[in-house]
Amino acid sequence: MNNVFIDVTVLEPRMKHPTIFDAFDSVAEGYAVVIHNDHDPKPLYYQLLGERGNCFSWTYLSNGPEIWEVEIKKNEKNSETIGEIASKDMRKAQLLKKLGIDFCCGGKRSLEEACIDKGLDVHRVKEELQNAERATQAGPNLDFNSWTLSFLADYIINVHHTYVKESTQLLGELSEKVATHHGQNNPILVDIRNKTHELLRELNTHLKKEEQILFPYIKLLETPGFDKNKPHGFDSVKSPIWMMESEHDAAGALAREIRTLTNDYTRPANSCNSVGLLYHKLEEFENDLIQHIHLENNILFPKAIELENKL
Ligand SMILES: [Fe+2]
Ligand SMILES: [Fe+2]
């Protein structure tokens, strides 16, 4: 199906998101669903990202104050070389390395050619690459809303907090290396290093607060016999949530600054592989951060407030 136009203002509220999702699923790669709305449909962006993954572009054709029109375009999956596969996703690069597939000097070959050279089953390798991608991204069928808050909190820690912690050393060192080696010729790489280090520092402090204070309290709310009138360090779960949300805003702003500095993660012409890897890792990191914050701001936190109010 080619481009689809949906006037969301004439749809029943309960039909709005399902209609848009159906249309998005039906359009062919490279085509778009254009939605016309009377308010900013940003929550849809996060829902689509959570349920379909990073497979679309989101462009405002009209951005208020009365009319919002957004083009949601489904990305095309081109047949990529192994160099492209590796440079776009560090997890896939690590898997290729483990399989002994050379994606640096031999990076211009297709995956099929590389597998034949190594005597590997290409279907199996494709499957493993998909599994590597799922390691830190939400699968399309995960129904986060149906989970208990304790399970969701554990999921966020095990998937997203672990990803941030595992990425911290690599991103810290890679941005440092790139700034040291190429910063004199391209000072923007020094700014990128500084912003990246600031983001990593702030996020790691933030994760500790969630893991040590907020998430244990949210789990307590679900414990039978919990008495909210007993002292727990704060009057209401709303206080730490507000603090976490303002820290999310600050982290999101830093990630956007990095996105701007890297020109939407567009690797500069003639730059070395380290710069390419840094840009792709930063893009991957921002994508993970968006999903991470989406799960907290839009699901875990509102449900925790609702549960506390009921007790
Ligand atoms: Fe978190
Ligand atoms: Fe958070």
Helix (H, G, I), strand (E, B) or coil at 86: helix
Tell me the Ramachandran region of residue 87: left when phi exceeds 0, alpha when psi lies from -120 to 50, beta otherwise.
alpha
Residue 47 confidence (pLDDT): 80
Instruction: Give, as one character, the DSSP assignment of residue 41.
Output: -
Helix (H, G, I), strand (E, B) or coil at 94: helix
Average pLDDT for the chain: 87
CA distance 198 to 112: 41
Query: Is the Cα dihedral 246, 252, 256, 258 positive or negative?
Result: positive
Single-letter amino acid code for the residue at 212: Q
Instruction: Decide if pLDDT at 134 tops 70.
Output: no
Interval between CA 244 and ligand 2 midpoint (Å): 6
Q: What is the pLDDT of residues 196-238, one digit of tens each?
A: 999 999 999 999 999 999 999 999 999 988 877 777 777 889 9
pLDDT-above-70 percentage for the chain = 91
Question: How many other C-beta atoms can be found within 10 angstroms of the C-beta atom of residue 277?
Answer: 20
Closest CA to 203 of 103, 306, 288, 117: 288
CA angle at 249 for the pair 299 and 288, rounded to the nearest 5°: 60
Interval between CA 204 and ligand 1 midpoint (Å): 10
Instruction: Decide if pLDDT at 77 tops 90.
Output: no
Instruction: Decide if pLDDT at 46 tops 70.
Output: yes
Question: How many other C-beta atoms can be found within 10 angstroms of the C-beta atom of residue 306?
Answer: 10
Closest CA to 214 of 310, 311, 309, 308: 308
Q: Pairing relation of β-strands 4-7 and 32-37?
A: parallel
Interval between CA 22 and ligand 2 midpoint (Å): 31
Fold of 4-74: Translation Initiation Factor IF3 (3.30.110)
- Least confident range of 5-14, 179-188, 225-234, 292-301: 225-234
- Considering the entire predicted model, what is its pTM? 0.57
Interval between CA 210 and ligand 2 midpoint (Å): 7
Question: Please, which pLDDT band fits residue 45 given cuts at 50, 70 and 90?
Answer: confident
Interval between CA 138 and ligand 1 midpoint (Å): 15
Domains in the chain: boundaries: 4-74, 82-134, 144-310
Q: Indicate which ligand has the atom closest to the C-alpha of 251.
A: 2
Instruction: Decide if pLDDT at 104 tops 80.
Output: no
Interval between CA 184 and ligand 2 midpoint (Å): 35
- 133-148 average pLDDT score: 70
- 114-126 average pLDDT score: 87
Cross-strand bridge partners of residue 63: 68
Q: How far, in Å, are 20, 50, 238, 274, 278 from residue 170 at the CA level? A: 38, 25, 34, 11, 9
Interval between CA 121 and ligand 1 midpoint (Å): 38
Q: Which helix (H) or strand (E) holds 188?
A: helix 188-209
Interval between CA 225 and ligand 2 midpoint (Å): 27
